[in-house]
Amino acid sequence: MFSWVTNTVQSTLASVAGTAEPIYGPQALHPVSKQEEHNPKYETTPEDFKWQALETTCAETQTFYIEADSGHFVMCQVIYSNVANLHVSAQLNVKVFFPDGRTHWSAVAMNNYAFHESFYSFFADGFSIILSEDHDSFHIKSQLDPETVVDVKIKRTFPGFKVGKDGKTNYGDDPANPWGCIRHIFWPRGVAEGTIEVKGEKVDVAGRALFVMALQGMKPHHAAARWNFIMFASEKVTAIMMEFTTPPSYGTQTVNVGMVLKDGALVGGTTIGTVEHTESKPDPDTEWSEPTALKAVWKGKSQDGKEFEAAMDPTLARIDRVDIMAEVPAIIKKFVAGAVGTRPYIYQYRQEATLKLKVGEEVIEEKGTMFMEATFIS
């Protein structure tokens, strides 16, 4: 998730006020779970990783999450956004959490950006992200920010993952002609190498990596009111969950996509997982209830037909709170919040956690590292 709604939320301020959607009802949402049966092995194709580059309002991202062996946690995200073909932009976001508690954040707009003719790679002045010819690795290089110099390679060590034919949840009265969508495609597990030079200090990013390619093909506050994103990884097990809840205009429905890997193989994918904020506390700065504990459950049929369930219930250790509209003047922020109830914040957490996994009659408990984002928009 990271900050992929930031550009679109900020850029659409002029058109946000007064644009609360009518009530379309739950029948106008077509969740990705409806097409799950068409791809029982959750396989991807090379074409899934092409940039869509829609010519309508959208935010499209490639996000890399890195658990470095050095103890650093790194997020690197490329955002391409289009607001009604009136404002098109591209940006690189980089966030580095240091083992000593420091946090470094860089967000820089790109100039002269362009897609490669294949739409697998992306370039700008001082920036490139290139997908290898064998479609197994990305190379990210950036000198956009002299205080955040990036030279990182991500290589997948596990096949790509998607639900259904295209990974999309669609919005609209006619499923064949949707007016919006949300799409996620994953590399659930990979390895990172290279460095990010932060204010002259080189950070070695060698370690585990996750890659998520996402598309939000409509205004973010119309598509989803809340998000939960969870990634858990140990030496043997990976569990990932992406969940969003629609605003009332689409019946306040929840869409959940998850996967569990063990010993280099897919245990199973699922669209019936759940996330519950079991404890929370008021946050007077945001007027949201900040999650302080959660319960996450992945469940479904394994690839060999057994019932599987993975669960964790950690107390949450917050590492940051992101005000998505931080750069927006306070008076405009209050006006937008009052007009359409949009107050977007991301709560970020990272800590050690234990995942309990049951496949058939086999039960294991695995200790690893969890990263979680809880996003509140409206």
* pLDDT for 221: 80
Q: Which helix (H) or strand (E) holds 336?
A: helix 330-340
* pLDDT for 341: 57
| Bridge-based pairing state of the strands 207-216 and 29-30 | unpaired
* pLDDT for 254: 98
- Angle value at C-alpha 4, between 326 and 197, nearest 5 degrees: 80
Residue 51 has phi, psi (to 5 degrees) of -65, 135
* pLDDT for 13: 44
* pLDDT for 1: 57
* pLDDT for 17: 42
Its CATH class, for the domain covering 6-376, is: mainly beta
Is 216 within 8 Å of 8 (Cβ atoms)? Answer: yes
* pLDDT for 19: 54
In the chain (378 residues long), the average pLDDT of successive 10-residue segments reads 50 47 93 98 98 92 98 97 87 97 96 97 98 98 98 98 98 95 98 98 98 93 93 97 97 98 98 98 95 98 97 97 69 48 87 98 98 94
Closest C-alpha among 94, 32, 61 to residue 243: 32
